[in-house]
């Protein structure tokens, strides 16, 4: 049985290490007698980080004290149905003393999960900031780690069970089509939507037939290199009953001067070169099909504008903090950095 156990006084960092190392989405909290008292999921940790918790904080105030469980003697089919109904992937199997004796893994039980959710990749940009590299090659086809950026994106989604893609193409689209074709060579299915003009990060969604986007779907920019757990992101979106989820990154900026705090004209404090921290959009989104009705047809439209409209309409929009490797390859220096870091963060 994998080591997925924590104690109440363990830290969020320790919980992350167990979850990441074990390639599971959850860890279980036990008492000194190894009896089950709770669980900590990837989603619990991300919500805690959004609420200002740090990696050194203890899990005692964030773990679920009423974890789902099954008895070791329960029928296998009933356990599978419980996992599917509750949208969970691992469940502890306990004995009569409430001690964990095994972990039931849904993915292993079903052998391989393939999700119906589409992945819409925006790959039509001109890549002007990467010239001269993009004069003959569209930005998503620039090679990082001896393969196009776009291939790494496709493979990462495929590895999490998302195999149905729609590429929104424009600039030098024939290069992308000739390389990927229908996707079968890469173990996926690919359709193409041609943007006849600049459409922004959301405008091209209006060109996609609505019957092709009848489940929550991903939208992602085609110049992002990341090993984010897409399965966790979709699960987070569904668990929170959101209409739209935005992947966000922590961004810190150090003011290069002493900042003066004042009350009227009275100086009350001076902070030397303080660091400001913000959450910024990471260019990865999960949207429900109903969001399409808010996007104007065949017009330039950006996803931040869509979120503003949804917020104004009091629709539930949420953020998903991305703690994994993430890099927006928009400039030459970022492209060079990606090539240096690729082997460290991706299987090659």
pLDDT at 254: 82
Q: Are residues 37 and 92 in the same domain?
A: yes
pLDDT digits (tens, 9 = 90+) for 264-285: 888 888 888 888 778 888 999 9
- Tokens encoding 52: 């200002």
For residue 308, give the DSSP letter.
H
Domain that holds residue 207: 115-345
Q: Are residues 204 and 340 in the same domain?
A: yes
Report helix, strand or coil for 212: helix
Which one of 77, 109, 141 terminates a domain?
Answer: 109
pLDDT digits (tens, 9 = 90+) for 119-165: 999 988 776 777 777 788 888 999 898 889 999 999 889 888 899 99
Query: Is 101:94 a contact under the CB 8 Å cutoff?
Result: yes
The pTM assigned to this predicted structure is 0.68
- Tokens encoding 117: 């959710």
Q: Are residues 261 and 310 in the same domain?
A: yes
Q: Of all residues in the chain, what percent are helix, strand and coil, respectively (each to 5)?
A: 30, 30, 35
Domains held by the chain: number: 2
Virtual torsion, Cα 335, 283, 213, 209, nearest 10 deg? -70
Q: Are residues 101 and 137 in the same domain?
A: no
Query: Is 19:27 a contact under the CB 8 Å cutoff?
Result: yes
Q: Are residues 58 and 80 in the same domain?
A: yes
pLDDT at 289: 95
Q: Are residues 87 and 34 in the same domain?
A: yes
Q: Are residues 281 and 187 in the same domain?
A: yes
Q: Are residues 145 and 105 in the same domain?
A: no
CATH of residue 58: 3.10.580.10
Which one of 109, 144, 159 terminates a domain?
Answer: 109
Nearest Cα to Cα of residue 35 among 101, 95, 99:
99
- Tokens encoding 15: 């919980």
pLDDT at 22: 63
- Strands 90-94 and 100-105, bridge-based pairing: antiparallel
Tell the burial category of 91 from Cβ atoms under 10 Å away from its Cβ (0-12, 13-18, 19+): buried
pLDDT at 291: 96
Q: Are residues 103 and 121 in the same domain?
A: no
CATH of residue 327: 3.90.550.10
For residue 296, give the DSSP letter.
P
Rounded distance between C-alpha atoms, residue 257 and residue 21, angstroms: 41
Query: With a cut of 50, which residues of the chain have pLDDT below it?
Result: 348
Which one of 109, 138, 157 terminates a domain?
Answer: 109
Query: Is 6:27 a contact under the CB 8 Å cutoff?
Result: yes
Query: Is 230:79 a contact under the CB 8 Å cutoff?
Result: no
């Amino acid at each position: 049985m994998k080591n997925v156990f924590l104690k109440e006084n363990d830290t969020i960092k320790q919980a992350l290490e167990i979850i990441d190392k074990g390639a599971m989405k959850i860890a279980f909290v036990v008492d000194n007698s190894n009896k089950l008292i709770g669980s900590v999921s990837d989603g619990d940790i991300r919500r805690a980080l959004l609420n200002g918790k740090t990696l050194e904080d203890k899990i005692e105030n964030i773990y679920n004290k009423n974890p789902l469980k099954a008895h070791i003697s329960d029928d296998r089919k009933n356990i599978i149905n419980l996992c599917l109904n509750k949208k969970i992937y691992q469940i502890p199997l306990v004995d009569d003393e409430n001690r964990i004796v095994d972990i039931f893994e849904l993915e292993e039980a079903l052998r391989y999960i393939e999700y119906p959710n589409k992945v819409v990749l925006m790959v039509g940009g001109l890549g002007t900031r990467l010239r001269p590299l993009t004069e003959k090659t569209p930005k998503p086809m620039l090679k990082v780690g001896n393969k196009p950026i776009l291939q790494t994106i496709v493979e990462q989604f495929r590895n999490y069970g998302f195999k149905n893609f729609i590429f929104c193409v424009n600039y030098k689209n024939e290069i992308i089509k000739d390389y990927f074709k229908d996707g079968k060579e890469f173990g996926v299915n690919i359709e193409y939507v041609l943007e006849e003009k600049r459409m922004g990060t959301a405008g091209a969604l209006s060109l996609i037939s609505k019957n092709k986007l009848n489940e929550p779907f991903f939208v992602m920019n085609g110049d992002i290199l990341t090993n984010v757990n897409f399965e966790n992101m979709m699960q987070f979106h569904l668990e929170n009953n959101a209409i739209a989820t935005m992947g966000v990154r922590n961004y810190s900026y150090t003011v290069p001067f002493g900042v003066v705090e004042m009350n009227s004209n009275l100086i009350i404090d001076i902070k030397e070169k303080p660091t400001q921290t913000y959450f910024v959009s990471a260019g990865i989104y999960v949207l429900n099909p109903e969001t399409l009705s808010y996007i104007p047809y065949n017009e330039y439209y950006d996803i931040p504008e869509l979120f503003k409209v949804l917020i104004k309409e009091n629709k539930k929009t949420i953020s998903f903090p991305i703690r994994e490797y993430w890099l927006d390859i928009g400039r030459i220096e970022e492209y060079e950095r990606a090539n240096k870091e690729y082997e460290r963060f991706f299987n090659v």
